[in-house]
Chains A and B, each alone.
With several copies, the nearest count.
Chain A
Amino acid sequence: MARVVVDVMPKEEILDPQGQAVANALPRQGFEGVSHVRQGKHFELEVADDVDDDTLERIAENFLANPVIEDWSVRRVES
C-alpha cells in the first residue's frame, strides 16, 4: 500500500472565486498580511504497490482534475 496525494488547483489565469472569498474575509476577522489565497482540492489515495506513476497521472488528469481549468500535482508520501 502506498499513499498518494493529489492537489488540484484552479489555473493561475482562471478566476478563483473561492480563494478570493477567503482572502476578502480574512481582514474582516482581524487577520492582516495574507495577500493572496487560492483554493483547490486535496485528495488522499491509498493505492496498491503495483500502481505505477503513469497510471496515477492518468487518474489525476481524467478524474480528479478538470484539465480545462485546473492544474494538478501528484506525489507519493510516506504512509
Chain B
Amino acid sequence: MSAAGASIGVITFPGSLDDGDARRAVRRAGATPVALWHADADLHGVDAVIVPGGFSYGDYLRCGAIAKFAPVMTEVLRAAEHGMPVLGVCNGFQVLCEAGLLPGALTRNAGLHYVCRDQWLRAENTTSVWTTRYEPGAELLIPVKHGEGRYVAEESTLDELEGEGRVLFRYVEDNPNGSSRDIAGVTDARGRVAGLMPHPEHAIDPLTGPTDDGLGMFLSALDTLVPA
C-alpha cells in the first residue's frame, strides 16, 4: 500500500471546528483524508481515525459528554479494540476520555480562562503509533487553544501512566491549564490510541502555525500504516 493508499478518517460532529485542519494535515502528510459523519455507523474502511477539536454538540454539559454517544463512536470503540490507531486532539481528547478509551478527564483550566497560545511541549513517549517520528525529549512548539484542558486522574492512575511511559507529551516552561504533572497528552497501553490538548494539525506549516512541529504525528502514524 502506498502512503496515499492509507486513509485516515476525520470525524465531524455538529460543532466540530478543526476537522478541516485535521484533514489538511493528513493530506500534507501524504495520506488520504476521509470525512466521517457523527451519525455514520460505519468507518468507511479507514486505517486510522482522528477525533478533531471543536465544541461537539456545543459541549454545554461537559466537553465530550454528548459526543461519546454518537453512532460513529461505537464503531471507533470497536475498531480501537482491534488495534486501529485513534488520535484525539483537544475536544477529541476529551471525547476519548469520556468514552473510556483513555484514562482521566479534562477539566476547567486552572486560570479559568480560555487560552490560545503557542506552547512548548516535550515528547516523552516516542514509541506510540503517533509519535515515532520524534526524538525522545524533543521540544516542539504547537498551539494550544482550550478552556477545559486541565488533565486530572487519580494519583494511582497518574503513577501508572508514568510507570508505563504512557505520558506522550508534557508542557514545558509554562503549564497553560494546571494539568496534573504537566501532562499534555497520553496514550493507551498499546500505544495506538492517543489524545492530547495541543493542536498538531495547526502546526504543519509555518505560514499558518508557529512551526511545522506537529506534522510528525501524522507522519508517525503513516509509518505504521504503510510499513516501508
A 39-64 to B, binary, CB cutoff 8 A, 1 in contact else 0: 10000000000000000000000011
A66 touches B60 (CB 8 A): no
A39 touches B60 (CB 8 A): yes
**Within 8 Å of chain B (Cβ to Cβ): is A15?**
yes
A66 touches B112 (CB 8 A): no
A22 touches B108 (CB 8 A): no
The residues of B that contact A63 with a CB separation of less than 8 Å are: 61, 65
The residues of B that contact A28 with a CB separation of less than 8 Å are: 69
Closest to A21 in B: B60
Within 8 Å by CB of B112, from A10, A18, A64, lies: A18
Interface residues on chain B, number (Cβ under 8 Å): 23
A66 touches B178 (CB 8 A): no
Most buried by A among B104, B108, B111: B108
Cα distance A39–B62 in the bound complex, in angstroms: 12
**Within 8 Å of chain A (Cβ to Cβ): is B211?**
no
Min Cβ gap B53→A in Å is 18
B178 touches A21 (CB 8 A): no
The residues of A that contact B110 with a CB separation of less than 8 Å are: 15, 17
**What 9 A-B pairs have minimum CB-CB distances, sorted nearest first?**
A18-B60, A21-B60, A68-B105, A69-B105, A25-B66, A17-B110, A29-B69, A21-B58, A22-B61
What would 20 more interface pairs be, CB under 8 Å, given A14-B152, A18-B108, A21-B57? A10-B107, A14-B107, A15-B110, A15-B152, A15-B178, A17-B60, A17-B109, A17-B111, A18-B61, A18-B112, A21-B58, A22-B61, A25-B57, A29-B69, A63-B65, A68-B104, A68-B105, A68-B152, A69-B105, A69-B107
Give chain B's interface residues, CB within 8 Å of chain A.
57-58, 60-62, 65-66, 69, 97-98, 104-105, 107-112, 150, 152-154, 178
